[in-house]
Chains A and B, each alone.
Chain A
């Protein structure tokens, strides 16, 4: 049962062939069997999940009208507040915190009857690309347990890839949904900025953060996308417009006559051979389906990485000021007569990990008087140029494409002491965040040199998220025909259960 797609599970629930309690228990059993190896979860809420499943089953048997994925289980990135359930954002500074409220994403999942099985591991405060920056140890890639699953939403991606959950929620500030989706052979979407409410999403970089769905198929991802998207009065940046019809787009999957732009700057040098060849093959497939492929020039993308690593740390240095040891979370050094400032400084030293400290210090520097214009100011101008490059490109084409990540999954520990090498892996995903548009990664096959998954990235203008699903579904179907079986059937067996 756990090998089915979320759409098939939902169908089986509707037809009465299984119950949500059975389906949830099967996934909890899978977690018990393999998560010792994968370490996707920081907290498994078996009791809460089964209670929720029982409730959905009862409502279904009473004939209540339920959402399309009611009763299907899900893994939730630990960056989203869930009432009464430990929420840490992967940080020691929040160890043991149980939020007194639900994030809007969680409220929407609960009202749609989606079963929240637990909280997944992540780079601390979503700062990182490998999940190694978690305060609770790394997550391991189900394709090769000596490698990282990517990050920062590595726990969510690994859970879906290892069949511990058919669906998961991540968040994407510089690629943190698309990159781990690529490295674990699944589908991940970063919706348009403002499409999914950030209320209750622990902030890293507020002008870039966006929560989004993971699934093993384009349609599953669309089903979850429609549940979590929509206007929210509690987020001032939430877009007040109808949710794009992503489910319909995923079902149609037609690229005949679609104009697809290949970004010149996001390929070639620096891209692993097997990554480039899977990307080129996918392009040929899209062309054979009737899409028109053209090359587009986005010259300022060359500076996107530099701009991102100024803007995101600047915003984080401000956002993380809220972790001050006063109202929630860790407090150390609170001895008689210790000043608030001393307690704050000692707590932030004990509670934050290396990468978080590095980014706070970098952001503090970039925002300090005398350097502000040269660093943060220039980065904001580069951001304008990137938005203009996209606008020009989207005037010529419907969607833009690139490899999601220049390489396949790397070894645990390989880049942990070399922050710049780690940052370079985000080069193809970051421009989407800076422009506030949407992007998808879907599996394009395995690189011949290491047999690890390669991601194909599709980008579309703001609030045109349906185009991602339309193009993604077409490519997915063509690849499936070519392979004969889903890509995950080639992943190694974990825990003796497949």
Chain B
């Protein structure tokens, strides 16, 4: 039986940038055993020599001619911004005081 501790979930939540309450951490940790057991079935088959498929199509880079096309106006681009200042997105501090 697989399991993921409350602390494991807390670490993953930190990596995923989701602040979680204690109750959420405990609930997720209790559900993960079953879910991990179910998905771990992918390891039951002998997969040696099988190639991985990341996408149903053979992906290739597609370039278009380098010409200017219409795009969003600054007003439209900023229309959903939680905060803006001088035609720019206003964001919280990203560097510490000393940096």
Partner-B contacts on A (CB < 8 A): 97-101, 193-194, 207, 233, 236-237, 239, 300, 303, 305-307, 309-310, 317, 321, 324-331, 334, 337-346, 348-349, 352, 354, 357-358, 360-362, 364-366, 368, 374-375, 377-385, 387, 419-420, 423, 434-437, 462
Contacts and interface: CB of A to CB of B under 8 A. Distances in A.
A385 B45 contact: yes
Contacts of B16: 317, 348, 360-361, 364
Contact of A309 (B14, B24, B39, B80): B39
B98 interface: no
Contact of A381 (B15, B24, B51, B77): B51
Given A303-B42, A305-B38, A344-B17, A330 B53 contact: no
Contacts of A420: 34-35, 38
**Looking at B40, B47, B72, which has the most chain A CB atoms within 10 Å of its CB?**
B47
B3 to A, nearest CB: 12
Q: Does more than half of chain B's interface fall in helix, strand or loop, or is it mixed?
A: loop
26 contacts: A99-B80, A100-B76, A101-B76, A194-B56, A207-B56, A310-B39, A328-B81, A328-B82, A340-B91, A343-B92, A345-B18, A357-B24, A358-B28, A358-B31, A360-B18, A364-B16, A375-B39, A375-B40, A378-B43, A380-B53, A381-B47, A381-B53, A382-B45, A383-B53, A420-B34, A462-B56
Contacts of B77: 100
A419 B28 CA distance: 11
B42 A378 contact: yes
A76 to B, nearest CB: 19
Interface string B21-50: 100100010011011001111111101001
B62 interface: yes
Given A237-B55, A434-B56, 11 more contacts: A233-B64, A236-B59, A307-B42, A321-B17, A326-B82, A340-B91, A340-B92, A342-B92, A348-B19, A364-B12, A462-B56
**Looking at B4, B40, B93, B96, which has the most chain A CB atoms within 10 Å of its CB?**
B93
Q: Lowest 5 CB-CB distances: which A-B pairs, in order?
A: A436-B56, A328-B80, A331-B82, A380-B52, A100-B76
Interface of B: 4, 9, 12-21, 24, 28, 31-32, 34-35, 38-45, 47, 50-57, 59, 61-62, 64, 72, 76-77, 79-83, 89, 91-94, 96
Contacts of B72: 100-101
A345 B12 CA distance: 12
Given A358-B31, A381-B52, A435-B56, A349 B62 contact: no
Contacts of B56: 193-194, 207, 387, 434-437, 462
A317 B45 CA distance: 26
A194 B60 CA distance: 14
A331 B90 CA distance: 11
B93 A339 contact: yes
A194 B81 CA distance: 31
Contacts of B52: 377, 380-381, 383-384
Contacts of A339: 92-94, 96
B80 A382 contact: no
Contacts of A331: 82-83
Contacts of B76: 100-101
Given A300-B45, A361-B12, A329 B19 contact: no
A338 B45 contact: no
Contacts of A379: 39, 42
Given A97-B80, A352-B18, A385-B50, A236 B62 contact: yes
A380 B81 CA distance: 37
Contacts of A365: 4, 12
Contact of B93 (A207, A338, A354, A435): A338
